[in-house]
Structure 1
Amino acid sequence: MTFEEQCNSAAANFLQTAVLVDDQAEFGVSAPLAPASEGDEFIEPDELAGAVAAISQPAQAIRDRLDAGAITQGFAEKGLICSVLKPKSSASITVEVLRLAPKSDIIVLDWQMGSVDNGDIALGLIHNVLEMDRRGGGRLRLFAIYTGVRDLTAVSTRISEELPSLTSSTNQFEFYNAYATAKVVVLGKGIPADHEAGQGDRCTEEDGLAERLISEFARFSGGILRNATLASMGHLRSNTHRLLARLNGDLDGPVVTHFALLNNSADAQQYIADLILQEIEAQVPLEEIVAKYAGPDSIKKRIKQLFADGGRSRIVLDSENATMHDLPEASAMALVDGSVEALKLHIEDFAEALGKKAKDIAGQFGPDSLPRRLYGVLGDDLPDGVRKHEDFAIASTIRLTNVEAQNFRDRKHPTIRLGSIIHDADGYHICLTPVCDSVRLDGDKAQFLFGRLGEDEKKFNVIVDDGGVRKRLLIDRKNVFVKTLELIPSADHTVRVERKLFDYLVPVYSPDGTKEFVRWVAEMKPMQAQRVVGSVTSNLSRIGLDEFEWLRQLGVNWSG
């Protein structure tokens, strides 16, 4: 299985639903050629003013009728459900599509609906769904314009003009949003002869549409981590009944007992939330899925795909001058099994590129240097490679950030607890107060312990995205600066972050009764936060004493 096939497999496991909108959809009808002037009783669009520009002259359509039966059958064969909507007015179809959109992974739209439409309805629907997704915090979604218009370039041109939030890739018939979570593709109905010369690879007949859309979805959603994630979510979707069988209605009584005995609704709710998460984890065979989609074989397939697509793998020789050197495919793949040995084979080439002797640089390619040399392993230049590695570091250690403010629309604002990162006049600080001491707070103030995080570009152990600005931070366990802040508990007996205009703020107690604030920046994942505390406390609890030097040097280190 190639990497592309792995992407298709993961996408197929995840995808479940699609909605198709076409005013010429018919069941059991082949797709005859029809002149563009043959319109039906479609009510012309009148509800999308402001979403797109005024209606322009329609492009010439060669193939109008759509065999809805062949399409739904094709989706069924791939294990997907496809709803076919035949609109009678722009207003009604907008309501129906927006109602279905939250549960639809793929939205397929005809370009011309009615005799004078030139994509205005389709553009309006894409605009409205993207806006709905944006307000909801984002959504992985594929839009497909499936049209009988002969010249598909006319369609892609209007999309680029009317939807400025989308940018075109190297392929003029594919568009993406800023976060690469939404993709719009232009596909032609029928066979290559139905469209202009050179557009044959964009053509798909009805019975092959499902397979083509799965492939299009996989091409923008695929990746080592995304494949594993999509496969995991797909497995969970397919096995939700197992989860519900374990957490069934017979357990309602014990839940009531738990609330009654604990006498603390917040703690009881957290217990239920933790229980559900643990059951979800138990139902997903993560080890097997990761081995299949993110194991060493998959990583090598990803590198092989890079070279097959004309890309190259590069190693950083001199980070100050951004000097990089190409690696052959075999060496790039060998990095997965042992990077030091793979690079030793090219010391002579590296020396020549740097204008030095091999013996002078051989020691510079040891294990300690590798983290700064692998930024271009998948073809990235130095700045992009550094940024992507920082992105992974943030994903690995940070649970919530103020950049993800839109995620708090459907959930409570975070509370101050172990791992919370704040910023005040003294800089960045991380909360060291245990979780158990961050709840059930009584009184008008509560003391929280914080350790300072210094900003350091070269020496750091935490990376955060503070309002879109990347920060490298260091908590120096051997030189810890700690301070106590008196914070104001909220009505739920926790210190909850508040929203003030564009900032998320933490209320600080002031003796004169005024309400002061410090900025909330992020919250670390629990295990990473616990490691910070362990590092700090272990250093503070060290014992220094004089001893027999022979025993000190030859004996086993007390700290392990």
Structure 2
Amino acid sequence: MDLNNFSSDRLAAASEFAQTMIVVDDQAGISVHEPVDKLVAPTRRTARSAADENDVATKVSEVLHQLDSKLLIDTAMELGLICSVLCPQTKDEDIVGRVVKAAARVDIVSLDWEMFNDSGETARKLIKGIVYSDLERFGRLRLISIYTGDKRLDVILSSIFESFSLSDRETLSLRLGDSFINGKGGLKIVCLFKKHGTQVPAQFSNYQVSESELPNRLLNEFASITEGLLSNVALAAVASIRGVAHHLLSRFNGNMDGPYFLHRAAIVEAEEAEQYALDIVLSELKNLVDRDGVVRRWAGASAISNRIDVIAKGSDHLDFHFQREGKPFIAKAAVTEVKDFVIQGRNKRYLSFTAEPKPNKNDYEHGWPSVFSTSIEDADNNMHEFASLTGIRAFPGSRMFNDGSGALPVLRLGSILRKAGEYWLCLQAACDSVRVKTKTAFFFVPLGVATSRPQHVVPLLSPLGSIDYIGLDLIDKAYTKSVSFTFEPILCDASLRVAAARTAHGGFVFTDIGGFQFEWIGDLKQRRALRVSQQLGADLSRIGFDEFEPFRS
């Protein structure tokens, strides 16, 4: 079994995605210095002066730390990477400010450790500046490489790790490994050694690369940050969008403005055309991505097989977790059979097991997802997170309301509110949620907490920033318990709408005209909300009457 197949998939997706890298090194030059003359044991006749010895030491240091910029840039370009090399001349330059600003738009960052002979002070400032900037933007895939002639790997990594306060380490979930630092949100800091003139301990020889090898090594390190099949799909999809961006722009040219203006002028609610403008662009983007075959290449049968091999870690079976009368059991499922189930579809078939007790049909409902997790609990959490990802448009922890822009949630179709432990779903028509000029009643139906197969899974943000998940269902005959709450509009996003207010702990509340507060839990994606409306309408439109029972159809 070749466990490198998925690594190849991951590297290919990362290579399509990554386009830019920036290198900061105060010893960057066109080519490395000439090698230092051979050192010989001094004799009375050949003894050097102290000045000569200092000169040799300086030359050795320059060779160890110099960077061949041209070779690095040329090699990066062969891989399709645009490489920018910054060579600061003095410590007084605003290196941190410029690099942090550039890093926001760069895929890979590489830094020298010893700049201006400051024992890593500048490098640490750069790393912290980049990491904190990313944190303000709710994290991102971030690879930072230290590329140095200093061979003290453990000292360098410990120095970087300890430069963050204990509270920041916890916030960032920083973990110090033998050869790297990891953090939440896709953060990885690695240390690599320059090759010319540097001798490293044998256990770190794999971390020594030349300038010609560095771009490819950094691509591999970048690929290692992403670990899932859907990560590859996301990388490839964004890469595809980047690739077709200029083609898309050429299609939506100035000649298209006239038809759009006529469309806006022709509809009753002219502002609804604004969303239509975005929808047609996104629709065309999806068509172009579909044409590139992203899903087939990165989520097809071959990709699935490769990913399951990695999950199995070389074993020929996967663990199926289930419970019987409250007692946990593990059954062994053949990897080949699991692959067939995922690729071909389960279609009400069941895995075959040799050991006893075997999972029964009831065990499948709860236990099947655990094949790809370490326990039923982990599988449940993963299932809830995925369900939330597919069904929730926004919640209090979303980036859109925590990016410093001051944006506020507005009451709309799909908004979920909580009051006194009760959950309410807003089903106000979209056109009646904007341009609300006077106090207006909004239509709500009740939702109940669901412990099994919920219709909606909503992330709940705690005051400490942790996330739990709650399942919610439209209660039976919800239309009989529907209510309306009346709210006063305010000016929000250049339109009169009912907007929430931010609370002290980072949440949001809507206040009705009676002074009652409703906690904003989140917004469903539009199609999810529309499906609830359709379900409610179907319940209301049922026709009930007596008819001749023998001939009842």
SS in 2 for 1:454: strand
SS in 2 for 1:409: coil
Distance 1:28 1:63, change over 3 A: closer
Give the Cα separation in 2 of the matches to 1:383 and 1:192: 52
Report the Cα offset of residue 19 of structure 1. Answer: 0.5
Residue of structure 2 in register with 1:306 after alignment? 311
| Corresponding pairs, count | 514
Question: Are 1:15 and 1:80, in contact at CA under 8 Å, matched by a contact in 2?
Answer: yes
Residue of structure 2 in register with 1:2 after alignment? 5
Deviations 1:226-258 (A, max 9, x none): 111111110111111111101113334455555
SS in 2 for 1:429: strand
Say whether 1:531 aligns with 2:531.
yes
Distance 1:244 1:286, change over 3 A: same
Distance 1:36 1:350, change over 3 A: farther
Say whether 1:466 aligns with 2:460.
yes
Question: Are 2:320 and 2:368, in contact at CA under 8 Å, matched by a contact in 1?
Answer: yes
Say whether 1:506 aligns with 2:515.
no
SS in 2 for 1:204: coil
Give the Cα separation in 1 of the matches to 2:54 and 2:191: 19
Give the Cα separation in 2 of the matches to 1:37 and 1:173: 33
Deviations 1:115-142 (A, max 9, x none): 2x22221121111111111212322221
Question: Are 2:385 and 2:469, in contact at CA under 8 Å, matched by a contact in 1?
Answer: no
Say whether 1:375 aligns with 2:377.
no
Give the Cα separation in 2 of the matches to 1:137 and 1:499: 18
Residue of structure 2 in register with 1:55 after alignment? none
Residue of structure 1 in register with 2:126 after alignment? 125
Residue of structure 1 in register with 2:32 after alignment? 29
SS in 1 for 2:202: coil
**Greater CA drift, 411-420 or 186-195:** 186-195
Residue of structure 2 in register with 1:447 after alignment? 441
Give the aligned residue type for 2:398.
E
Give the Cα separation in 1 of the matches to 2:98 and 2:368: 49
Give the Cα separation in 2 of the matches to 1:328 and 1:231: 30
Instruction: Report 1:56-205 matches (<5 A).
Output: 63-90=64-91, 91-115=93-117, 117-163=118-164, 165=169, 167=173, 171-179=177-185, 181-190=186-195, 194-205=199-210
Residue of structure 2 in register with 1:393 after alignment? 387
Query: Which of these residues, 407, 412, 415, is aligned with residue 420 of structure 1?
Result: 415
Give the aligned residue type for 2:430.
V
Report the Cα offset of residue 329 of structure 1. Answer: 2.4
Residue of structure 2 in register with 1:243 after alignment? 248
Deviations 1:205-232 (A, max 9, x none): 1111111111111111242111111111
Instruction: Report 1:214-229 matches (<5 A).
Output: 214-229=219-234
Give the Cα separation in 2 of the matches to 1:287 and 1:4: 21
SS in 1 for 2:303: helix
Distance 1:30 1:392, change over 3 A: farther
Give the Cα separation in 1 of the matches to 2:444 and 2:468: 22
Report the Cα offset of residue 423 of structure 1. Answer: 1.0
Deviations 1:262-295 (A, max 9, x none): 6966434323222322232233226821111012
Residue of structure 2 in register with 1:476 after alignment? 475
Residue of structure 2 in register with 1:53 after alignment? none
Report the Cα offset of residue 410 of structure 1. Answer: 4.1
Give the aligned residue type for 2:435.
R
Give the Cα separation in 1 of the matches to 2:136 and 2:316: 36
**Greater CA drift, 325-334 or 521-530:** 325-334
Query: Which of these residues, 19, 23, 28, is aligned with residue 20 of structure 1?
Result: 23
Deviations 1:337-371 (A, max 9, x none): 3447874420x4141xxxxxx6xx6xx23xx6434
Question: Are 1:108 and 1:143, in contact at CA under 8 Å, matched by a contact in 2?
Answer: yes
Deviations 1:360-415 (A, max 9, x none): x6xx23xx643411233234222222111111000111111111155453474332
SS in 1 for 2:416: strand
Report the Cα offset of residue 100 of structure 1. Answer: 0.9
Report the Cα offset of residue 80 of structure 1. Answer: 0.8
SS in 2 for 1:63: helix
Distance 1:415 1:144, change over 3 A: same
Give the Cα separation in 2 of the matches to 1:170 and 1:341: 45
Distance 1:408 1:86, change over 3 A: closer
Distance 1:256 1:461, change over 3 A: closer
SS in 1 for 2:534: helix
SS in 2 for 1:239: helix
Give the Cα separation in 1 of the matches to 2:254 and 2:542: 52
Give the Cα separation in 2 of the matches to 1:266 and 1:259: 7
Give the aligned residue type for 2:244.
N
Say whether 1:409 aligns with 2:404.
yes
SS in 2 for 1:458: coil
**Greater CA drift, 117-126 or 248-257:** 248-257
Report the Cα offset of residue 169 of structure 1. Answer: 5.6
Give the aligned residue type for 2:473.
L
Question: Are 2:338 and 2:351, in contact at CA under 8 Å, matched by a contact in 1?
Answer: no
Give the aligned residue type for 1:373.
G
Question: Are 1:429 and 1:450, in contact at CA under 8 Å, matched by a contact in 2?
Answer: yes
Report the Cα offset of residue 530 of structure 1. Answer: 1.2
Query: Which of these residues, 426, 434, 442, is aligned with residue 431 of structure 1?
Result: 426
Say whether 1:279 aligns with 2:284.
yes
Question: Are 1:7 and 1:227, in contact at CA under 8 Å, matched by a contact in 2?
Answer: yes
**Greater CA drift, 133-142 or 223-232:** 133-142
Question: Are 2:423 and 2:448, in contact at CA under 8 Å, matched by a contact in 1?
Answer: yes
Q: Which runs of 5+ in 2 are unaligned?
A: 38-52, 462-466
Distance 1:295 1:477, change over 3 A: farther
Question: Are 2:322 and 2:366, in contact at CA under 8 Å, matched by a contact in 1?
Answer: no
State the TM-score, normalized to the length of structure 1: 0.84
SS in 2 for 1:237: helix
Distance 1:229 1:328, change over 3 A: same
Distance 1:284 1:315, change over 3 A: same
SS in 2 for 1:145: strand
Give the Cα separation in 2 of the matches to 1:268 and 1:379: 45
**Greater CA drift, 536-545 or 208-217:** 536-545
Distance 1:135 1:187, change over 3 A: same
Give the Cα separation in 1 of the matches to 2:327 and 2:159: 43
Q: CA RMSD in A?
A: 3.0
Report the Cα offset of residue 326 of structure 1. Answer: 3.5
Distance 1:415 1:183, change over 3 A: same
Report the Cα offset of residue 419 of structure 1. Answer: 1.0
Q: Which runs of 5+ in 1 are unaligned?
A: 41-59, 352-357, 556-560
Residue of structure 1 in register with 2:43 after alignment? none
